[in-house]
Chains A and B, each alone.
Chain A
Amino acid sequence: MRDFSYLRATSTDAARQAAALPGAMLLAGGTTLIDLAKCGVAEPDTLVDITHLKGLDRIDVSERGATIGALAKMGHVADHADIKSRFPAISEALWQAASAQIRNMATIGGNLMQRTRCPYFRDPANFSACNKRVPGSGCSAIGGVTRGHAVLGTSDACIAMYPGDLATALVAFDATVHLGDRRILVDDFFLLPGTTPDREHAIEPGEVITAIEIPGSAAARRSTYLKIRDRQSYEFAAASAAVGIEFEADGRTIRDLRVALGGVATKPWRARAVEAALKGKVLDPETVRAASLLAVEGAVDHGANHYKIELAPRVVARAILKLGETA
């Protein structure tokens, strides 16, 4: 790991100023950044440690929604009683992510900045071509081992999969990121790779994530996060779904539905076509399974990741039907 200078921010304003300087990066839990520095992927000149800032770790939950401070730890949010009762999908996405140790370190703001697990991206010593790392250098994954790569939202420049769980649940429920006074939908915060896969987030130098806000809703209250993976725990998703549902008074007709996919796309992937196809319909297995196929509309595989195109709709359908059973 290349050395860097270390600066401990004493206020959010000081962090903003320091982070705006060339070569500076914000350091929160460090679970991505220190790892990538060891891989030779992140090469900061200065790390601006924001973990000693006070007051940015609050978790406020009310009827209207939840506001979670950027420095709240993943584990604390997962175990928060009101998050569990009003936003079960958020809690489930968090406790099924990483390990207990990592969840005690990783912050909610830092979680949004998590980078891809693409093995070519993570290995500059052996793979010099990576458009995400070095724009214009090419993509080692295309034509390589692609079992963990994205099938949705890819481009000719990059097929790296977005690996996070939390953000998948956040986009399902229209959460926003607070960058100080600026607010942006989480869905818009994550960028498609297109021709510029090096740019992953709609955040400017000198901006600091201060909070995440999730609007309260009946669909968020009846929600779940279903994560399918190669091993049962401590593993990234092969495919996952954040789903929330609200029924009409009859308890069978779908009034509101939220669906987002993880583990299959280049960013957290809202499946609006599935939502539209099922709203107003009576929930039954056949209808749900047929509509869930729309989740992978436009999917493109690169060989070994083809299974995700079959798996993702099944995960979506199972999550919706599971919520239906509790009606």
Chain B
Amino acid sequence: MTKIPVHLDINGQHHELQLEPRVTLLDALRERLGLTGTKKGCDHGQCGACTVHIDGERVLACLTLAAQAEGRSITTIEGLAREGELHPVQAAFLEQDAFQCGYCTPGQIMSAVACIREGHAGSDEEIREYMAGNLCRCGAYPHIVAAVRQAAQEFAS
């Protein structure tokens, strides 16, 4: 199939790519732009490892065509830290030891940032419900909830 030009705005940087229309945002990030922080888990929208933000909202890069994301503002895990300072959610994940193998962590963190911003981190129960789209096969869930709770409290204060 003929490649089409796709303009992507990622972490404040403009990228111009020639892509087959079937290329997902996830593959464009990882295979074409070297932004491998966004992980490929199931590639079917079931695990959340590929969570990124589009126009400030958390979405799955594996079920988004790169072409669909044109004209939108995309943020990946690489775009979260500001001037060398970890994002408060990143710091909370370190502090609470909220991971083991770390493969799901970029997706967990991107999801958590949005979860807090949406106002869905008001209680442990609500955090568990609204973080349910991010699976952790190491089972680090209690520490992940603790990290989200801590970051949410820091934002609130």
Contacts and interface: CB of A to CB of B under 8 A. Distances in A.
A160 B71 CA distance: 39
A34 interface: yes
Interface in A196-229: none
B113 to A, nearest CB: 12
A101 B21 contact: no
A51 B68 contact: yes
Contact of A3 (B1, B43, B111): B1
Contacts, number: 90
A49 B71 CA distance: 13
B149 interface: no
A307 to B, nearest CB: 24
Given A6-B65, A100-B130, A100-B133, A1 B22 contact: yes
Interface residues of B, number: 35
Given A5-B21, A98-B133, A104 B57 contact: yes
Interface residues of A, number: 32
A133 to B, nearest CB: 18
A27 B111 CA distance: 24
Interface in A86-137: 98-102, 104-105
Contact of B129 (A6, A101, A102, A233): A233
A78 B65 CA distance: 25
Contacts of A253: none
Given A4-B21, A6-B21, A101 B71 contact: no
Interface of A: 1-6, 8, 27, 29-31, 34-35, 37-39, 47, 49, 51-52, 75, 79, 98-102, 104-105, 232-234
28 contacts: A5-B1, A5-B21, A6-B4, A6-B21, A30-B65, A30-B68, A31-B60, A34-B24, A34-B64, A35-B45, A37-B22, A39-B44, A49-B67, A49-B68, A52-B71, A100-B58, A100-B120, A100-B130, A100-B132, A101-B45, A101-B48, A101-B59, A101-B111, A104-B58, A105-B60, A232-B129, A233-B128, A233-B132
Interface pairs A-B: 6 shortest CB-CB: A99-B133, A6-B21, A233-B132, A3-B1, A234-B132, A104-B57
Given A5-B21, A101-B45, 19 more contacts: A3-B20, A3-B21, A27-B65, A30-B63, A31-B45, A34-B63, A35-B63, A37-B22, A49-B67, A49-B68, A52-B71, A99-B132, A100-B58, A100-B130, A100-B131, A101-B58, A102-B133, A232-B128, A232-B129
